[in-house]
Chain A
Amino acid sequence: MAERGAPGGHYGQYGGRFVPEALTAALDQLDSAFRVAWADPGFHAELDALQRTYTGRPSPMTDAVRFGQERCGGARILLKREDLNHTGSHKINNVLGQALLAVRMGKKRVIAETGAGQHGVASATAAALMGLDCVVYMGEEDTRRQSLNVARMRLLGAEVVPVTAGSRTLKDAINEAMRDWVATVDETHYILGTVTGPSPFPEMVRTFQSVVGREAREQVLEIAGRLPDAVAACVGGGSNAMGLFAGFLDDPGVDLWGFEAGGEGIESGRHAARFSGGSPGVLHGARTYILQDEWGQTVPSHSISAGLDYPGVGPEHAWLHDTGRARYAPVTDAEAMAAFADLCRTEGIIPAIESAHALAGVIGLGRDLGPDAVIVVNLSGRGDKDVATAARWFGIDAGIVESAEGR
């Protein structure tokens, strides 16, 4: 693991910083503010207190007995319940850390990109808490898919800017946030929501999310009396996965599994599976696996889940993939939705569709590993935001979609 977090933010050949020169000074400032803060007990005291009294950490670990018995070949499935965090997902872990840094750097305004809206909601929440102005860029297509979260952000006082450029999804929202940041960098911090982008974002976001893996490791030792055989998470940009993996990277007996969005199937071309259907390239400031054509133009991704609908992935994942330390597999829309229904019916938990991709992966993993296996899966978010999409998918939307979706 010696190459992890190497100077310049490289993970082997991946990572780095591919940005307009205007951002170099801000990234250097952020890097230094992050390192100073992380070495400062005062910062940790502040962050820990917020996590405990505001987010509700530690998040519990639930023994999903029926889901394991009835769906996963009898394997013991332990759910890391990030869905129970304030704002409904793991995104708040990173956002609170970065918002505290913004305050430390004297910045009065924060901007964020969002796909599913979870990161936007978390950013709007932290901005309200800390008295910062907040602008969230969101692809117009996603504002339609996730209108509930648009309303939440606006209730929290954030301005939501629908992005109409390009494919009108997360990739374009990131472009627009970068453009804003270049012009406003003196007073603005860009709260990037995942483990990609230019250095130091991948390392910093992983560090703020590593609380998930740290807690999970303690909890599984307590509940199962041993380390798990595998840990699993969905991978869009990959922050919930990186947070979970961080707790187990140095345990060679624990397999790390990332499940990316297979959309309508790799062969259909309509997917967001960077490892199965992409190749190394540079996007949004980092070298990593991306979906691109023969000329290096970004190919639009597709997933039923807005949070996984992104053509890039965090550079540390690219490195873990190439070194073989972690394994990545695609999960189709249909497989994810079946797992979504399974968790609803066996555990009484409605997961985010993003997290349902990890659950689908774990169903296969459990069946392969058998009844003696212990598997930790990150339930990264709750499914309230996805009720309308799911109701439509299962054909039970008569009479409810109007009120749930508001349009």
Chain B
Amino acid sequence: MTALADAFGRARDEGRAALIGYLPAGFPSREGSVRLMRAMVEGGVDIVEVGLPYSDPLMDGPVIQEAVGIALAEGMTPAGVIDVAGDVAGSGAATLVMSYWNPIERFGVDRFAERLAAAGGCGVITPDLTPEESADWAIATAAHGLDRVFLVAPSSTDARIGQVAAECSGFVYAASTMGVTGARSAVSDAAEGLVARVRAATDLPVAVGLGVSSGEQAAQIAEYADGVIVGSAFIRVVLESPDLEAAEQGVGGLARELAAGVRRRRDRALS
């Protein structure tokens, strides 16, 4: 059983959704990012998404762009990202890398998969790689036992969802809204319908991301999804903190709030 299947299985057994937290490696520094991701895990994040900083993040809104810009200025490289992922995986959390495609292609598709697996990473999310372009990636990830996560969106047709889900392993990433990453005050109504359509196509867990920032939103999504993904809200906490210690406390606090959120469904069912 892979680390991801394990994490989703444990959450299911506990009658709750899994909590997935994203931060870019190297933000605000190499060591700082490892400490923040460990704080996430201590606060209750089940699965960590380690962002690979890229110069042209066209699916990301201003908050992640700013964080990634800081990480690049700090000199974070794809090799460094794999190291960071290894350090985070050492804390026991299932650890994925989220990366735009070009840095992986440049690193060497097989070499990237091999190194990440050796470091202890369990999979990769690729927001701009479509199944049509992923033949080499499928071979490399299978060879090294990594899960391969693609995205579906509210605009995806049912046929398309089936096609994408068939190429996924670990879980399917459902983008809740048509738009870029960033906290939103309300999670789109489109998310629930999308999750239902994904469930019709696959038995894999479905996790919802884009726009989730509070325990309340996490609880809403946990009603119908297997996983809740939070990124920009963590980054905002870090950007607003005066120093790394405050950032660690803030990140841990937000993780606890979100972890309580994904458990609220069960509380309600029991009451």
Residue numbers of A with Cβ under 8 A of B are 8, 16-26, 165-166, 171, 174-175, 178-179, 182-186, 281-285, 290, 292, 294-298
Contact = CB atoms under 8 A, between A and B. Distances in A.
Contacts of B156: 21-22, 24-25
Given A21-B152, A22-B175, A183-B178, A178 B65 contact: no
A8 B101 CA distance: 18
Nearest to B153: A22
Contacts of A23: 155
Contacts of B102: 281-283, 290, 292, 296, 298
Given A8-B132, A18-B130, A283-B56, A297 B103 contact: yes
A88 to B, nearest CB: 29
Contacts of B177: 183
Nearest 8 pairs between A and B by C-beta? A296-B106, A22-B153, A183-B179, A296-B103, A25-B155, A297-B55, A282-B102, A298-B55
B180 interface: yes
B140 to A, nearest CB: 16
A296 B105 contact: yes
Nearest to A9: B132
Nearest to A294: B106
B151 interface: yes
6 contacts: A17-B130, A21-B175, A171-B56, A174-B58, A175-B56, A282-B105
Given A22-B155, A296-B105, A296-B106, A284 B132 contact: no
B65 to A, nearest CB: 6
Interface of B: 54-59, 61, 65, 72, 77-79, 101-107, 127-130, 132-133, 150-157, 160, 164, 175, 177-180
Nearest to A176: B58
A25 B157 contact: yes
A18 B179 contact: no
A184 B177 CA distance: 11
Contacts of A26: 155
Give the one of B57, B107, B133, B155 with max A CB within 10 A.
Answer: B155
B175 A18 contact: no
A21 B72 contact: no
B153 A296 contact: no
A219 to B, nearest CB: 40
Nearest to A19: B128
B151 A20 contact: yes
B101 A21 contact: no
Contacts of A175: 56-58
Contacts of A186: 178
Contacts of B103: 295-297
B133 A182 contact: no
Contacts of B154: 22
A281 B107 CA distance: 11
Given A18-B128, A179-B58, 20 more contacts: A8-B132, A17-B130, A21-B152, A21-B153, A21-B156, A24-B156, A25-B155, A25-B156, A166-B56, A184-B178, A185-B178, A281-B102, A282-B101, A283-B102, A290-B102, A295-B77, A295-B103, A296-B54, A297-B103, A298-B55
Nearest to B163: A24
Given A24-B155, A297-B55, A16 B106 contact: no
Contact of B106 (A182, A183, A295): A295
A281 B109 CA distance: 12
Nearest to B152: A21
B197 to A, nearest CB: 13
Contact of B151 (A21, A25, A171): A21
Contact of B65 (A8, A16, A165, A297): A165
